[in-house]
Amino acid sequence: MTLPRLKLISLILVLCAAMVCIAAPLSHDVRPGYGVTDVKWLSDYHQALKGTWGDTRVYILEGEEPGANVLLLSGTHTNEIAGIFTAMIFIEKIVVKKGKLIVVPWANNSAATWGTVSYDNPESKMTQPNYITFTSQSGPRSVVVGSRRTNPLHQETDPATYTHVSGVQFPGYESRNLDRVHPGRADGNLTEQISYALFELVRKEKIDMVVDLHEAGTSSRLANMLVCNPKNLEMGAMAVLDLEFEDIQMKLEHSSEEFRGLSHREFGDHTDALSFLIETPNPSQDQNVKQPYTLDHPKFPLWKRVYTHLRTFIVLCNYLDDFVGRGIVFENIPESDAFESSAKFFMIYN
Amino acid sequence: MKRSVFVFFVLVVVCAVFAQESVFEQPVLITSAGQSAGATMMKVLATKAKLQFTFDTLAKADLLTDNFKTIIIVVGASSKGLGAAGINIEQEVQRITELLNTAKDKGIKVIVAHIEGQSRRGKTSDQLSELAVPFAELVIITRAGNDDGFFTNLCDKEKKQLVIVDTTSAVQGILEKYFKAGD
Ligand SMILES: [Zn+2]
């Protein structure tokens, strides 16, 4: 066979594979508990996402009594695993008595389809995604550790410069960063459409508060920080003070005026919802790291980071009544003694 | 017997002197020096302490009518906060300088607070602290922001009363204590 013909056959094979792959978004091992009253797709809020790698599962936990509607996002950056493990606690264990909680554990599901061995320039060394395997009450299971941005194979080639809807410009690769493209575009690239779908969800479900769970390097200014849209800074301050009594020290900051595209900025500005972003310290986001994820660590074990997310989110929810006049009430929140070791922590899950 | 009466007497005198130095009256103006979120934390703490206050992170000197008896200046430089307010650090320094000088002229007492710990220490924040502390009657800080003894040294040098608390929440109790005497 000649070389050109071989190349042509390879190309056709790759294209076929790509077409087959388009048939379904990435699925995850999530085991909903009694609290989940409905499971939807993100594409239910924006049809164009259906059948793309950007579609993702949306878990609804609706209480018997109406109250506040809250959207909990994780996996905006799919390597920031503490948020994902927190979201899974709500899906698998927590029951909502009053109000409605909507959980999107992998907000950017395309980003979960690839791994990397380079944090600084991840696209230069793309790999298969990594998997955390652990033992829960039901035995072995696994959770994917993906990347920060949309899979480059799922979206058109990055532009030289990405222009956000506000006109602010970013390096081209940020066109695949869900936390830079908000509030998205209905007819934009895949990442912008994911964002647009999340905004549609917020509008259609009349969401009162959006909380987006993230992680940052352990020496980052952002680590252990609650970032607030300016309109809900005071509520954030109250939460931070309350958390001190639980021995959780969070810094408080408000969204920047110039830095656009971030969830805490744009959900708060473009919808009626209050908007927060929580950051915990993740050793695997430090420079020159070798491990794609960190479970056990003397200072920053996964269970501790998840506990910070969980408590910060719940304390914020406790203030909804005061700030929007509607509350949300949870049952079955895991006790603090479940957050003492990895083995104990993983037993929370179904 | 005589001795204990004497000790009691001394204690009363000491307390009286202490109280005299530390009376703060209301209404209070709470403002920021540096536009970090610390001022909003103080607003929440003052609300919990049931203070009668006005909150204005960009309060200018002309706001200082006879209405106010005390100003609480919360130090913390944030480039995001300054950006959001549409000002640069030079303008912020000028606003604070004018505010402090006016307060001094009008006999309005000043409390300087730094309640965001290590994360709000740095060249610009320290510059603002050095600007404000000489005007203060009381300086309130959280322990985490004084690892290097910056505030201890500054208050020693300026002979200012310094209260160090372990948590930001504990500032509420300090406010209750110092403002109760003034009610
Ligand atoms: Zn992130």
CA distance B49 to chain A (A): 13
Asked if the Cβ–Cβ distance from B37 to A257 is below 8 Å, we say: no
Question: A33: which DSSP letter?
Answer: -
SS3 B36: coil
A5 in any annotated domain: no
For range B123-142, the mean pLDDT: 97
pLDDT tens digit string along A66-103?
999 999 999 999 999 999 999 999 999 999 999 999 99
For range A320-326, the mean pLDDT: 96
pLDDT at residue A58 tops 70: yes
Burial class (CB in 10 A: 0-12, 13-18, 19+), A60: middle
- Best residue of B58, B80, B172, B174 to probe chain A, by most A CBs closer than 10 Å: B80
Q: How much is the pLDDT for A4?
A: 52
Q: Which of A19-28, A280-289, B58-67, B78-87 has the lowest mean pLDDT?
A: A19-28
Strand locations in B53-169 (E): 53-55, 70-75, 109-114, 138-142, 161-165
Domain with A41 in it: what CATH number? 3.40.630.10
Residue of A nearest to B40 (CA): A234
Q: Per the structure, how many domains does chain A have?
A: 1
Domain with B111 in it: what CATH number? 3.40.50.450
Q: Per the structure, how many domains does chain B have?
A: 1
pLDDT tens digit string along A190-199?
999 999 999 9
pLDDT at residue A7 tops 60: no
How far does residue A215's CA lie from ligand 1's centre (Å)? Answer: 5
For range A105-123, the mean pLDDT: 88
B38 in any annotated domain: yes
A226 in any annotated domain: yes
pLDDT tens digit string along A191-235?
999 999 999 999 999 999 999 999 999 999 999 999 999 999 999
CA nearest neighbour of A34 among A92, A98, A99: A92
Nearest CB neighbour to A251, from listed B40, B43, B119? B119
For range A163-178, the mean pLDDT: 96
Percentage of residues of chain B with pLDDT beyond 70? 86
B178 in any annotated domain: yes
Q: Which residues pair with A133 in a beta bridge?
A: A142
DSSP string, A207-263: -SEEEEEEEE-TTSTTTTEEEE-GGGHHHHHHHHHHHHTTT---EEEE--SS--S-H
Spell out which residues of chain B touch residue A249, defining contact as CB-CB under 8 Å: 117, 144
B119 in any annotated domain: yes
pLDDT at residue A302 tops 80: yes
SS3 A167: coil
A202 in any annotated domain: yes
Which B residues in the span 103-142 are in contact with A, Cβ-Cβ below 8 Å?
116-117, 119
Spell out which residues of chain A touch residue B117, defining contact as CB-CB under 8 Å: 249, 251
B154 in any annotated domain: yes
Domain containing residue B126: 22-182
d(CA A149, CA B163): 47
pLDDT tens digit string along B19-71?
445 689 999 999 999 999 999 999 999 999 999 999 999 999 999 987 899 99
B17 in any annotated domain: no
A22 in any annotated domain: no
pLDDT at residue A281 tops 80: yes
pLDDT at residue B110 tops 70: yes
Q: How much is the pLDDT for B3?
A: 47
B7 in any annotated domain: no
The pTM for the full model equals: 0.89
The band of A18, judged by pLDDT with boundaries at 50, 70 and 90, is very low
A15 in any annotated domain: no
A16 in any annotated domain: no
Domain containing residue A197: 28-346
Asked if the Cβ–Cβ distance from A238 to B44 is below 8 Å, we say: yes
For range B12-22, the mean pLDDT: 45
B52 in any annotated domain: yes
The band of A33, judged by pLDDT with boundaries at 50, 70 and 90, is very high
B61 in any annotated domain: yes
Q: How much is the pLDDT for B22?
A: 66
For range A115-119, the mean pLDDT: 77
Q: How much is the pLDDT for A14?
A: 44
Spell out which residues of chain A touch residue B43, defining contact as CB-CB under 8 Å: 234, 237
